Structure 1
Amino acid sequence: MKNVVLLTLAVLASAECEEASLVQRPRLHRVRNHSMPRSSVLFTKEQAHRAMEKHKKVLTRSGKKSGPLPACSVDLRASLPACMQYNPDWCWATVTAQLAGYFDPTHNPESGDYENLGTGSVNREMQRAESCLGEECRVAGSQFAPSIMDACCSEDVEPKRSSYLCDTGAEVQTIEKAIDWATSQSYVAHEGALTEEQLVHVLNKGHPVPYAVLWVDKDSGMYMGGHIMILGGCTGDGRYYLHDSLSNLTRTKTWQALTHAELMEYSPWAMVDSWPTVEQLGGKETVHASNEELKKWFRENGNHGKWFYSFILS
């Protein structure tokens, strides 16, 4: 009898995850010879158009500052676990897991608890990261398999990420609900980019800022998907701490320090899924290219992520 019950639960879990996987699972796009990262933040055309119009207005205002910015040297990194995502479309769940750890440290990974994971589709580029797998899985389960919270979890993720069956992005409203579920905090989606003054104001309150970008094809202008990361403070010299859960940690630090202008047009040079091909690098394999060569290629040829949404603690 016990075996029958377990089998029934397994079938139900599989069905729930399969249904969740139908939300959207787009793969790596190639448009006009440019690689595009995956779409993990789902959006409507109307949302994209409105956000890009606001993006233009913020860019215009950025060149017309009325005065000096307030001082900003808030560093929240010590309280924000540097989670890496275990599923290609779980950037939203990863950011939510980081916020859960920030507001309640019992959600943080235990000291010394690390997992090996492959970065993007290049599994030979191995890295070790703080294990936030359990929290990420619970976040995804809370939204897509709430009756069986851990239905989409697997501890056997080395070296690849967890099951593709639960590999799904999330809409803006779903991200809001996930953050509320995991943190008991009321984060509200802010359409479009924040001005630098607005960003400084929020960070000075000690509030981490989930930061989403919209991938836009360089040549066609097509909207190709979204990705969400987290901002965890400011350096005091006009830069802001950004954690990208898809960064290749063999290439970049856990936290990057970027200017507001660099946040407005985010370069995914350290994300393996968006690396140029051998042909695009003049015959050199990307694994042998230097960081500067990759940055240069992205400046001249690559697709950038335009600041699309922010999530602000109300």
Structure 2
Amino acid sequence: MAQRVDEVLASGKAPYAHGLVVLRGGQVEIERYAAGHDYALNEPLGHVEFDRDTLHDLRSVSKSVVGLVYGIALREGLVPEPGEPLLRQFPEHEDLAADPRRASLTIEHALTMTLGIEWKEDLPYTDPANGEIAMELAPDRHRYVLERPIVEEAGLRWQYCGGATALIGEIITRGAGRPLDEYAAARLFEPLGISAHAWSRGDDGATRAASGLRLRPIDLALLGQTVLDGGRDVVPGPWLTEMLRHRAVTGSGSGYGYQWYLNPGTYEGVGNGGQRLVVVPEEELVVVVTAGEYDVSLASSQAVLDAVFNR
């Protein structure tokens, strides 16, 4: 495996790859870092020489981490069960419940991205017409999501929606009585020994649940190992079972659980530009790839993964 990976990296087939960590049986099998131009969301960081201690944007892999954090908060009685009404968690927007279709939305619809609302996030994340960017620019990000036009019955179809994760993050924040990033640090990262982390906030002070987390690749791999290990008494095991149960089908044909992609034999977190977390239970394998192909493709990270899995 290591030889295949090194050949791909040396050949230039993955020019935007920044990092790779492979754990097998909980032990580091491969760890590689490169250099390249990088960003923290839309803020240029210039040319970065990556190493083990360099934090990297996870982009939408952040969503999968939020999925873990919700389970911890649920065990502590801080957040409702997924079947509870969504609008009930936002009483300041109770006027929106006048529409019975909106009133019927549940937290699970947000966890599975099956809200049935109008949402367009297939534009570059520099475009204000992108749903997530429009949400960031809105006077009230949560109302912005909750009042989107309803285009179909909830639960019928998966639609990629960073706004759904923003709602989940806010429910955690309200239940915990502190920002999502602080709660995640205290209840997920620190118990696992993850001391280096950053989670950006919007201008309104809300943690960017959908895309703002930065971790070291080795620590993201540890989160994957935690899933593989059944939660390590940090994330509840029963929640992992629910989180990773097939509940929807994405546009690409993957399964989807609670903020995690489910492919045959794997659980995955995927982020813009080539951020990948892949957990393969049968092989006791965790693979993390970070890359800088933002708003372009996943080609570099896919080339590295193909080498890892000999595809």
Query: How high is the TM-score relative to the length of structure 2?
Result: 0.30
Query: How high is the TM-score relative to the length of structure 1?
Result: 0.30
